[in-house]
């Protein structure tokens, strides 16, 4: 087995396809990224509502305790009022009751407002849960598309890998090793076209004697800079 450029070129073409397909297969999960982001956002909003609810419940408890204390104060003042010994004491107690009653009214308004806020949060939570349910359905569908795309690419990759093995079997051990090493090192392609005496892999000039060798097509020529196996169309 000697140097067969056509095998190497075919292999180079095949590897470019493989690299592209593997990238697409690996990037397929990105297809579901917007749906996942939407679900995550809605879940964060729901959990924030839950946190707000917990905080608000603590606040309501405090307000209710305060209101109870005011009611007790008022009841105590009422008892004292009934037993007032003179007008001054009576007046003072009446003022206390009025003040406590105003404070109690304020607290009751605050409690009412807190309950209303809780109700609107419940409404928002309900909507958020509905949104999450429909968005999770969309996410599941997107993930299904990801799976299908990956399966399609994987099947294609498997087919190309089988062809690749056949091509590699046609090469000498030395050439095969060199090709594989180059591909692993360069990542994109182990072969490069020479056009106008320029290596299209690294865009550097090729020495004339090397160009002649490439033109001859009977020996393997590699770029002295990037190391790629060179080939060319010479008219």
The minimum distance between CB 174 and Zn ion, in angstroms, equals 20
Left (φ > 0), alpha (ψ -120 to 50) or beta: where does 17 sit?
alpha
Left (φ > 0), alpha (ψ -120 to 50) or beta: where does 178 sit?
alpha
Contact letters for Zn ion, residues 157-196 (x by CB under 5 A): ----------------------------------------
**Residue 139 interacting with Zn ion (CB under 5 A):** no
Sort 175 into a burial class: Cβ within 10 Å, 0-12 / 13-18 / 19+.
Answer: buried
With CB under 5 A as the contact rule, the residue among 49, 211, 223, 229 that binds Zn ion is 223
The minimum distance between CB 13 and Zn ion, in angstroms, equals 18
Contact letters for Zn ion, residues 189-218 (x by CB under 5 A): ----------x-xx----------------
- The nearer residue to Zn ion, 220 or 226, going by C-beta atoms, is 226
Strand partners, 229: 191, 222
Sheet (strand 229-231) strand order: 198-199, 191-195, 229-231
With CB under 5 A as the contact rule, the residue among 226, 229, 231, 232 that binds Zn ion is 226
Per this entry, what is the length of the chain? 235
In the structure encoding, which two tokens stand for residue 3, read together? 């140097």
Contact range with Zn ion by CB under 5 A, out of 148-156, 162-170, 171-179, 226-234: 226-234
| Residues in contact with Zn ion by the rule CB under 5 A | 199, 201-202, 223, 225-226
């Amino acid at each position: 087995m000697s140097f067969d450029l056509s095998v190497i070129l075919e292999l180079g073409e095949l590897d470019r396809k493989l690299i592209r397909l593997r990238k697409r297969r690996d990037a397929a999960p990105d297809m579901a990224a917007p749906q996942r982001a939407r679900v995550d956002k809605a879940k964060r909003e729901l959990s924030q509502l839950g946190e707000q609810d917990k905080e608000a419940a603590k606040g309501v408890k405090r307000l209710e305790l305060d209101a109870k204390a005011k009611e007790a104060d008022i009841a105590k003042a009422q008892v004292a009022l009934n037993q007032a010994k003179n007008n001054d004491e009576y007046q003072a107690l009446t003022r206390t009751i009025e003040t406590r009653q105003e404070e109690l009214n304020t607290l009751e308004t605050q409690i009412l407002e807190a309950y209303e806020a809780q109700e609107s949060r419940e409404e928002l939570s309900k909507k958020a849960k509905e949104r999450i349910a429909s968005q999770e359905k969309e996410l599941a569908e997107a993930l299904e598309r990801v799976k299908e795309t990956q399966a399609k690419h994987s099947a294609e990759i498997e087919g190309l890998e089988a062809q690749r093995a056949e091509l590699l079997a046609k090469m000498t051990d030395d050439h095969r090793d060199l090709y594989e090493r180059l591909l692993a090192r360069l990542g994109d392609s182990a072969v490069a076209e020479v056009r106008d005496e320029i290596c299209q892999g690294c865009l550097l000039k090729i020495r004339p004697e090397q160009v002649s060798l490439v033109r001859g097509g009977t020996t393997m020529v590699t770029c002295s800079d990037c190391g790629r196996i060179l080939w060319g169309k010479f008219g």
